Structure 1
């Protein structure tokens, strides 16, 4: 897949996106007029997705990945920042614009066991989005969608209910439901995490083939770096609502610059029982998003912690096309501009 070389308008762009959740205080808080700090689920995230490009968002559970996708597609309203579809901000969308956007930006949910209506046959699940978007229905179109997701022969599956399908078959139906309206962008929310390993590999190959064949762009989120190397062009590493590193996939897998990225890569299993690789040095668990301290959010788990980690790090270009938010990679007097980093996909923490 090629990143757009002509610097054309990205098909989907996020600028300084924030999604905060307010917390209700107790009786004493209301009595004394105090309020709790919001939960900053997504905090100043930026990225630009070009046509036929696949970008991955990687991080532990609870880092804000799913909230980011739900905010992008409009299932929850952003607290701040902007989202653009083909150069137009979603904040200026009319009702007609929203309907077109929802047709062209489709989401594949994590759990195929719950994302399909249990009372709908496969045929009915595929007809529903066509009806919603006033697209003419034809049996040929239904068959073609099932062919593309490798459910063959289509006639074998059309009248089955979800309970008559395996987990992998359910997720293939979910993918068929997404592509049948011919979208521009797919938002994939950990689409293989509920499946067994062999099925995961098959679904990943399918998604990679579909992005090539249909010219789709995709945001793919996962907590598992080992599943992204064959599908993503670019990876954003996310920690507690912020992007801490962004780089092309091979570059970040081969030479991570942020200690958190390094820990994630060290945790990838090696299929060799005789491998004597040292264990990752990452200890502890992420702090509660309700009680975030000032400075680098990774500091309490970082093996490289130093005094200045109590201040928020800047995002700098550590290598060509690789941007990292970490004090290890610049001096306080370093004033290199970060405009490109903001466009490439992250924040100045």
Structure 2
């Protein structure tokens, strides 16, 4: 029998916030369903074409270092159980659980829309972030190549960008990113949550292995691309003991910078995460949630600006001290030159020539 690739969520829970229909199985034969009907078929990934009117998303959050971003896809097949973007699927009357990682949306006109938005007379340049909501290099990028098309437009216009990904697929685009980085226009952040292959496969089941991501860091750094490593999220009592080792391996691979974020559990992510804990770490589920609540002011999640990305209390302070000490030891975060916004030129072509 072929081995099935796992999914992240253990359930396909609906959202009470948007009154999605609750479907409850019933019947006397439920306990024997597998013996009678056989095992359910594998959950397959589907991709729906979405054609938005705009592609740049704006934000004014004081917690993030950018004010605009692009998300080529909705949903993410990596299936990271902690993903804060999961609740966005509820807006489409889909579950933030298994639907989020199996019913995906692609935006094939993203590069065309971006070209039009950059050509507007009132456009003011600032770095564009890719990978802020869902991963721009998730598996379907191999076929759809939407992220690569977007990079082509940004390279053509000398527009600065910052990429965040959990995939080593980003090295495919070194031919675009390296020349941009040489002009001070590009950085890449590779997210690595754990070096333990078993833990990584459980928490991020369809993302590349930690070793493949570290190899990607090395290739990006060797190509002269400023490379960060994100330890995001740190999960208490599951991955927090790895902080020092992760930073050491990141520095060894050539990363220049690192940062971390304690796990966040907004909206539907909290019950999904609790169900995941009960399935994979039942012996420590209570301890994990107790520490998370101590980081989040007694709640599963803290939505407040300034504290939501940092956490609060003794546990948060301990994580910060350990992280900064390890970064100093391995020479990370010594300098962080800004991306250059002065080289931007509006795109040429039919849309650019309208103005």
**TM-score normalised according to structure 2 size:** 0.32
Q: Which has the higher helix share?
A: 2
**TM-score normalised according to structure 1 size:** 0.32
Q: Which has the higher strand share?
A: 1
Question: Structure with the greater relative contact order (CA < 8 A, sep ≥ 6): 1 or 2?
Answer: 1
